[in-house]
Amino acid sequence: MTVHQLNELLLVCSLVLLLAVAAVRVSSRSGLPSLLLYLGIGIAIGQDGFGNVVFDNAELTQVMGYAALVVILAEGGLGTKWKEIKPALPAAAVLSLFGVAVSVGITAAGAHYLVGLDWRQSLIIGAVVSSTDAAAVFSVLRKVPLPSRITGVLEAESGFNDAPVVILVVAFSTTGAIGEWYVLVGKIALELAIGAAIGLAVGWLGAYGIRHVALPASGLYPIAVMAIAVSAYAAGALAHGSGFLAVYLASVVLGNSKLPHWPATRGFADGLGWIAQIGMFVLLGLLVTPSTLLDDIWPAILIGLVLTLLARPVSVFLALVPFRLPWRERALMSWAGLRGAVPIILSTIPMVTGVEGSERIFNLVFVLVVVYTLIQGPTLPWLAKALGIGRGEEAADLGVESAPLEQLRGHLLSVAIPEESKMHGVEVAELRLPAGAAVTLVVRDNESFVPSPTTVLRHGDELLVVATNPVRDATERRLRAVAQGGKLAGWLGTGGSSS
C-alpha cells in the first residue's frame, strides 16, 4: 500500500465512521436498530450499491469479525454488574448449553424438512442462529426497564453462549470433526472449563495489578484494562479453551473490581465497542451481494419462524423449568433472543472451510438476521409492557472515579451527584464518612470551593473526597448508601456505615 492509497483509505474510513455516528442518531429517533443501518452502509458502498466496491474475502471478514466480537464482549463484560448476574448464573449456564442444544436441533429439523437443506447444512444453520448476539442484547436490554433477574439471565446468556456455538459450527463445518456426540459434548465442556479458568485468573490478576500500581497518566488505565481483557481471549484460545468465554469473564471481574479512573475506562471501552460494531457490520454489508438474496428470502423467513416461534420458546421453557420463573418472564426471554452480527460472522466459517452450499447458508442467515432484528428489537419494549413486566424508578447509580495517591497512601474520589440522587439536601457533616475520609472540594456551577461541615449538597455538584487506603472502599459504600437512602441511609437498610 502506498501513502496515497493510505490517504484514500483513511478518508473513506473516516467518512464511513461519521455516517455511522449520524446513523445512531437516526436509530435513536426512529427505533430502527442501528446494526441494520450499518449493514445498509456496507451494502450501499458495495458492488450492488453506488460505491461499487467489490469485496468477497470471507476469511478476512471472519478474522475481523472475531476481533470485533472480542472487543464487544469485553465492553459488555465491563458494564455487567455482578450483583445482577450472580443470581442468574445457573439459569444462564443452562440456557447457554442445554437451551442451545434444543434450539439447534429444532431449527435444524425445520431447515431440513421445510426448506429441503441436507442435514449438514441444516445443523450448521441451526448452530449459527441459536446464539444470541452480545452486541444486540447489551445495547437493547440496557434501554428497556426490565427487572434485573431478567436482564441478568439474558446478558449472561449472550456472553456465555458464543463459546459452545462456535465449537458446534466449527465441528459441523469440518469434515470428520463431529465424531460421537459424547466426544463433542466433552470437547465443549473442556474448552469452556479452560476458558473460564483463564478468564477468571487473568481478570483477578489484572484487577489486582491495576489497583496496586499508580500509573503516571489517567489515560493509561483504560488502555491497560482493555489490554488485559484481550489478553484473556488470546490466552484462552492459545490454550485450546474458549477465548470468548475467557474475555467475557475477565471483563466481568475487571468491571466489578472498583478500578481507578473507572468512568474514563467505561467511556473508552464504550467507544471501542461502537467502532467494533460499526466496522463489523459495514464489512458484513460489503460481503453480501443483495442481488443473490432474492431466492432465499422466503426460506430464510420460514427458518426464522421456526427459530423464533418454536425453537427459542421451547428451549427457554425447558431450560428454565428447574428455576420456577413465572411464565410471563420466560415468554419475554423467548422473544428477547436477539440476533445480530454474531450469526452472520459464524456463517462465514463454512465459507472458509469450503462447505458445499456455504454461500446459500450465508444468504439465509443474513436475511433471517435482518428481518427478525427489525421485528424483535423494536417490539421488545411493547411486549414487556403488555406482559406487565417492568421495574419502577430506581435511584441512579453514583458516579465515583478513583485516582490512587501512591506516595500519600490514599485515594482521591471524584463523586458526581445526579438528578435522582438522595444526596441532594444532605449536609457534608451528615455524610458521616469513615474516619480517614473527608470532602475537600465542591464544584458547583463551574465554581469550586472548600466546603464547611454545614454545606448543603445539591444535584449537579461534584465532590472531591480524599480517603486513606484502609477506608477507601468503606467511603465509597457510604457515599452510595447516602445517594440511595439519604442522610438516614444507615437506619433505612440501604447499607453503608452510619457512625
Break the chain into its structural domains and give their ranges.
1-30, 32-386, 399-492
* Residue 137, CB-side half-sphere exposure with 13 Å CA sphere: 32
What pLDDT digit, counting tens, does each position of 255-291 carry? 998 888 887 888 899 889 888 888 888 888 888 888 7
Residue 396 pLDDT exceeds 60? no
| Average pLDDT over all residues of the chain | 83
Q: How confident is the model at residue 324 (pLDDT cuts 50, 70, 90)?
A: confident
Residue 453 pLDDT exceeds 50? yes
Task: Name which of 362, 340, 281, 286 is nearest 44 in CA terms.
Answer: 286
Q: Give, for 63, the enclosing helix (H) or strand (E).
A: helix 58-78
> What pLDDT score does 395 carry?
39
Q: How confident is the model at residue 421 (pLDDT cuts 50, 70, 90)?
A: confident
- Class (C level, CATH) for 32-386: mainly alpha
Average pLDDT of the segment spanning 399-428: 76
> What pLDDT score does 397 carry?
47
Q: Give, for 275, the enclosing helix (H) or strand (E).
A: helix 262-287
Residue 138 pLDDT exceeds 80? no
CA distance 62 to 341: 11
Counting residues of the chain whose pLDDT is more than 90, the rounded percentage is: 21
The pTM of the whole model exceeds 0.85: no
Q: How confident is the model at residue 317 (pLDDT cuts 50, 70, 90)?
A: very high
DSSP state of 176: T
What pLDDT digit, counting tens, does each position of 63-90 carry? 888 898 899 889 888 888 888 788 888 9
> What pLDDT score does 301 carry?
94
Please, what is the end-to-end C-alpha distance for the chain in angstroms? Answer: 66
> What pLDDT score does 126 carry?
92
CA distance 337 to 184: 25
CA distance 192 to 132: 17
CA distance 23 to 17: 10
CA distance 38 to 54: 17
- All 3 cell numbers of residue 255? 468491571
Q: How confident is the model at residue 29 (pLDDT cuts 50, 70, 90)?
A: low
- Enumerate the β-bridge partners of residue 416: 399, 462
DSSP string, 323-373: GT--HHHHHHHHHT----HHHHHHTHHHHHHT-TTHHHHHHHHHHHHHHHH
Cβ contacts of 207 within 8 Å, gap of 6 or more: 253, 254, 257, 259
Residue 133 pLDDT exceeds 50? yes
Counting residues of the chain whose pLDDT is more than 70, the rounded percentage is: 88
> What pLDDT score does 420 carry?
78
Average pLDDT of the segment spanning 129-141: 72
DSSP string, 166-197: HHHHHHHHSTT----HHHHHHHHHHHHHHHHH
- Class (C level, CATH) for 399-492: alpha beta
- Enumerate the β-bridge partners of residue 258: none
Amino acid of residue 33: P
